[in-house]
Amino acid sequence: MGKKHVFNAGPCLLPQVAIDNTIEALKDFKGTGVSLISISHRTKGWDEVMDECRALWKEILGIPEGYEVVFLGGGASLQFLYVAMNYLEHKAGYLETGVWAKKALKEAQGLGNAVALASSADKNYCYIPKGYEIPKDLDYFHITTNNTIYGTEIRTDLDSPVPLIADMSSDILSRRVDVSKYAMIYGGAQKNAGPAGVAFAIIKTDTLGKVSRYLPTMLDYRTHIDKLSMFNTPPVFAIFVMNETLKWLKSIGGIDAIHAIDVKKAETLYAEIDRNGLFTGTAAKEDRSIMNVCFVMSPGHEDLQDEFMKFATERDIVGIKGHRSVGGFRASLYNASTQEDVEALVAAMQEFEKIRG
Ligand SMILES: *Cc1c(COP(=O)(O)O)cnc(C)c1O
């Protein structure tokens, strides 16, 4: 089987060394003679994995004092509810930049007063709204920094007069983030940080405990902070792979190194989309994501879509079909994808132009 160029939107490509180390641990966890998926999560060797993983998150992202990192089940989708449970008292504001942002808002509306302060639904979320006001009386303002389906991204840390909460599922660990500007940051691991099965939440601890509602034990962030994400059985497999992914990230130079790699990959692909008359980018140029690159066949060439898909597949290119709500193509350039993968896609676009342009 030839090496595939994987552009899946999530679960994402993961570094080979993380996969290899996981295979070893599945056979024998740290010389215990027991598989990773059969050890007790109360054994000493497991504590070390949890501690290392928390420490790597803090080190790689430069998380300041006063914040804790927790690992939870239920994906980013359950975090939509956690956020509202733990922070919504009087009123919350959301930036509606896509389907995920809307789903987050819906969970808050189920519990109280939550509104979209601005939306880009008028143009199928192909841009990030700007120039809106954030009322000073909100409990929090919620943003989705990277809109996985539409390929738009908020690539700076916004100034907010109220606690800022961000779903960073699909761009976490791709750029330096000023964590101190956020009350909390969360996401599902499977877009850039690890495999499916675990979500991360980075929480400024003094922002908790301000709501009057009853918080079920499992939905109270303080439970998981107090118990170091081991109140109940943690998803050991997913956390192990995430830890191995973070170790890899540190070994290649950390956040600034990966950011430079990610930017170069994205610039390479966007340059080809802008140059090649057969293809057109769908996201507003100033809001283009460095993680998910969305494009369609240019007007007049729409009938070539299926043919290009087949052409790319024959060149070992996998996972570039766009989300059904946007159509066309989406190449996800998460951390473990390489410049070589992007160049294979660009070469396919150029060859296709020669025969069909
Ligand atoms: C994929 C995704 C989600 C949903 O994640 P799950 O872990 O599957 O619940 C939420 N937000 C964003 C931005 C995503 O890309």
The structural domains of the chain, with segments of one domain joined by +, span 16-251, 254-356
Distance CA 44, CA 51 (A): 11
Say whether 125 sits in a helix, a strand or coil. coil
Contact 239, 230 (CB under 8 A): no
Ligand 1 centroid–CA 356 distance in Å is 36
Cβ of residue 194 lying under 6 Å from some atom of ligand 1: no
Phi first, then psi, for residue 197 (nearest 5°) are: 115, -5
Nearest CA to ligand 1 atom 13: 169
Q: In what order do the strands lie in the sheet with 329-332?
A: 279-281, 292-297, 329-332
Say whether 260 sits in a helix, a strand or coil. helix
Q: List CB contacts of 8: < 8 A, sequence separation 6 or more.
A: 318, 319, 332
Strands 292-297 and 329-332, by their bridges, are: antiparallel
| Beta-bridge partner residues of 70 | 201
Report which residue type is found at 302: E
Averaged over 255-269, what is the pLDDT?
98
Tokens 């570094």 belong to which residue? 15
Distance CA 89, CA 87 (A): 6
Quick: pLDDT tens for 115-168: 999 999 999 999 999 999 999 999 999 999 999 999 999 999 999 999 999 999
pTM: 0.98
Quick: pLDDT tens for 85-106: 999 999 999 999 999 999 999 9
Nearest to 157 by CA among 137, 169, 139, 175: 175
Q: What's domain 16-251's architecture? A: 3-Layer(aba) Sandwich (3.40)
- Rg of the chain over Cα atoms, rounded to whole angstroms, equals 21
1 has a pLDDT exceeding 80? no
Distance CA 226, CA 222 (A): 6
Ligand 1: which of 82, 142, 191 to mutate, most ligand atoms within 8 Å of CB? 191
Quick: pLDDT tens for 17-54: 999 999 999 999 999 999 999 999 998 899 999 999 99
Shortest-distance atom of ligand 1 to CA 10: 1
* DSSP H or E segment with residue 140: strand 140-144
Residue-level pLDDT at 44: 86
Cβ of residue 145 lying under 6 Å from some atom of ligand 1: no
254-356 adopts what CATH topology? Aspartate Aminotransferase, domain 1 (3.90.1150)
Residue-level pLDDT at 97: 98
